[in-house]
Structure 1
Amino acid sequence: MSTPLDPHPLPNVNLKLLQAFMLVAEHGSFRQAADLTHKSQSAVTSQIKQLESQLGVQLFHRTTRQVSLTASGVELLESAKRAVHEVERGLRRIQETTDLKRGRIFLACSTTVAATRLAKILAAFESDYPGIEVFVRELTSGDMHDSIRKGEVDFGIGPVSDLPDFNCETILTENLYALVPKKLHEAGGSTITMTDLAQMPLLLLNLATALRAVVDDTAKQLGLELKTRYQFNQAQTLISMANAGLGAAVLPAVVLPDDPHPDTHEMLIIEPELMRQVAIITIKGRSMSPAASRLAQLVRLLITAPHSIDRQRNRS
């Protein structure tokens, strides 16, 4: 029985020779390839001759004016590009695996989200990636944009922005509510109009927040003058002040307490309904690291508050 002939052994091609070949082919010039590799032109010419000798084919047509690929050269260039692409993919996969075992993420987050949803998100992320450190900065929207723009954080979780240099991926849309002391509104009810709310002493977040801008802009459009009694940086402070009867607190659904204080009414603001959108915010043209991308994915999955969904459904 005859056995198939063994194929000819492949030549042992040095990768440096392939690199020199690809540079000459890409630039159509031995001189430019030499400049890029910090070698003499004669050294690069020698490398190409050595590669041609090993392969047993001519790779370039050479004239005094130009250098062009032969048919064999075109075939080798296509194969070399595919090979380099595969090597680069492999290196990226290795780097991504390493990045997910150790590394650092810098995150900017609005105070309302940080106080209510971030703990659950970070706990889940730490369980999956214990070797990665996450550093969080609680910032107002203006400070958050500056921090993202300067590259101080990988991404932000905050109000949707229309600034042209940012990408905003909306991950949460929610109503604004008023937490109203019963002594200010004995009748209670599930809703309160913006006009009625404007007659009460109000507890609002400070002027640097996007949520405050929603309230002020709506009042201006309606020709209402708000009676701002106190303003604070933290939503939880507004809640405690409302519970003490000091005024009506305007809050996003995500921060409303699961068990409202017996002396307050939780009321959806209507006429008009006030809404806010929360987004994952990045600067355009800047990609996230693999670790930051995984954290962003967890944010998308876990940001929604179940009790907020129930409230929205009950209002429909």
Structure 2
Amino acid sequence: MTLLTYQVFKTVADHGSFRKAADILGLTPSAISHAISSMENELGFSVLNRSKSGVTLTNYGENLLPYVNAVLNSDESLWQAIAEFNGLKKGKVKVGCFSSICTSWLPDIMNSFKKKYPDIMIEVFQGTYDDVSYWLKNGVVDIGFLSVSSAGDIPIEPLYKDKLVCVVPKGLFDKNTDEVMHISELRNHQFVTQRESTDADIQNFLKENSLNVQSNYHVVDDLSTIALVANGFGICLMPELVMRDIPYEVDCYQIEPDAYRIVGIATMNSDFMAPAVRTMYNHIIKNYKNI
């Protein structure tokens, strides 16, 4: 099998369509189909399910994809190393991040990085903690932002301690926003919660303080959570990073006991990063580590 075969397989897997893969790679749909069929004949098993609704990975294809990603990433690393030997900073870095990093940190990181390394491309993947962990383990992204508690067995470099605050509808509590909110004051309130894959640190804090919250609202993104709180459907806990430039009128209180999440940058093996990836990884640690 050739690198083109691997590229065809990955592109079809990513987009679920022979036609879309053909458009992206500049090939004909029949060439895409022929490449996949030849690959399956050589492997001795099917890697894709074909149907009228689209194309999906077989179980064999699912298990094969991380290895194909590794081969393609190794090829990219090789050409980046060659460019580096020639005194050039080129290549591509694929970055995974969760919502509040994408809105509050990533634009500044990308702008400062592009000023120094204009020929290195950056590709961004936004998702939940679970998404970023999956992308790192399967070679979809090179580096990813996670909280330390959500990283599990993935090596992570801590960058920033992000305090958790209590967010409530405007005027709900008769106190100034510079006052502290004690955990006991929250026990009888309806909560708006997010899934554990999105706010594992908050879920951990609630469990550690025996706060069995009542919630009828289980959302994924930060802005939806704040919107529901602003409109009186409950209260929530939220990292301070999220609360920057929020377009809703709410009150925020520091929490007692003190609570926070630690945000970090993760990669599967920091000793074997491609040159462009290593350059961005070091740029982030040098310029954005504050812990």
TM-score category (smaller protein): 0.5 to 0.7
Whole-Å Cα distance in 2 between the matches of residues 159 and 108 of structure 1?
12
Equivalent-residue separation in structure 2 for 1:173 and 1:241 (angstroms): 26
Query: Which amino acid is 1:177 matched to?
Result: V
- Over the matched positions of the two proteins, sequence identity in percent amounts to 24
- Residue 188 of structure 2 corresponds to residue 203 of structure 1: no
The whole-number CA distance in structure 1 between the counterparts of 2:93 and 2:264 is: 18
Task: Determine the C-alpha separation between the residues in 2 that align with 1:166 and 1:173.
Answer: 19
Higher Rg of the two aligned structures:
1
1:243 matches 2:230: yes
Give the length in aligned residue pairs. 212
Q: Does 1:103 align with 2:91?
A: yes
Give unpaired runs (5+ residues) of structure 2. 1-78
Alignment of structure 1 residues 249-288 onto 2, 5 Å: 249-258=236-245, 263-270=249-256, 272-284=257-269, 287-288=272-273
1:121 aligns with 2:106: no
Partners in 2 of 1:302 and 1:230 — Cα distance?
38
- Structure 1 Cα separation of the partners of residues 152 and 222 of structure 2: 29
Alpha-carbon displacement from aligned partner over 1:189-211 (angstroms, at most 9, x marks no partner): 432122212322222322212x3
Contact persistence 1:165–1:283 (CA under 8 A) = no
Amino acid at match of 1:143: D
Quote the Cα distance in structure 1 between the aligned partners of 2:210 and 2:270: 41
Listed one character per residue, the Cα deviations across residues 105-163 of structure 1 (whole Å, up to 9, x for unaligned) are 11111212112111111122222222222111112222222211112211111111486
Larger CA deviation: 160-169 vs 121-130: 160-169
Q: 1:251 to 1:92 in 2, by over 3 A?
A: closer
Q: 1:125 to 1:144 in 2, by over 3 A?
A: same
CA distance in 1, matches of 2:185, 2:208: 15
Distance 1:115 1:188, change over 3 A: same
- Give 2:283's match in structure 1, choosing from 298, 301, 304: 298
Answer whether contact 1:100 1:291 (CA < 8 A) is retained. no
For 2:80 and 2:91, locate their aligned partners in 1 and report how far apart those are by CA, in whole Å.
15
Classify the secondary structure of the residue corresponding to 1:184.
coil
Using a 3 Å threshold, how does the CA distance of structure 1 residues 179 and 98 change in structure 2: closer, same or farther? farther
Asked if the contact 1:181/1:248 (under 8 Å) is kept, the reply is yes
Structure-2 change in CA distance of 1:268 and 1:207 (3 Å) = same
Contact 1:177 1:251 in 2 (8 A): yes
Q: Structure 2 vs 1, CA of residues 196 and 102 (structure 1 numbering), >3 Å: closer, same or farther?
A: same
- Identify if the C-alpha distance between structure 1 residues 178 and 163 changes in structure 2 by more than 3 Å, giving closer, same or farther: closer
Q: What is the CA–CA distance in structure 1 between the aligned matches of 2:112 and 2:288, rounded to whole Å?
A: 12
**What is the alpha-carbon distance in structure 2 between the residues aligned to residue 280 and residue 253 of structure 1?**
18
Given candidates 220, 235, 238, the residue that maps to 1:233 is: 220
Contact 1:175 1:275 in 2 (8 A): yes
* Kept after mapping to 2: 8 A contact 1:175/1:276: yes
**Residues 99, 290 of structure 1: 8 Å contact kept:** no
TM-score in terms of structure 2 length: 0.63
* Structure 1 residues not aligned, in runs of 5+: 1-90, 310-316
Aligned partner (choices 168, 176, 180) of residue 168 of structure 2: 180
CA contact (8 A) 1:100 1:290 kept: no
Structure 2 counterpart of 1:280, which letter?
I
* Aligned partner of residue 124 in structure 1, secondary structure: helix
CA, structure 1 residues 247+161, in 2 after alignment: closer, same or farther (shift >3 Å)?
closer
How big is each residue's C-alpha offset from its partner over 1:81-113, in whole Å with a ceiling of 9 and x where there is no partner?
Answer: xxxxxxxxxx99763255954321111112121
- Tell me the amino acid that sits aligned with residue 295 of structure 1: M
TM-score by length of 1: 0.59
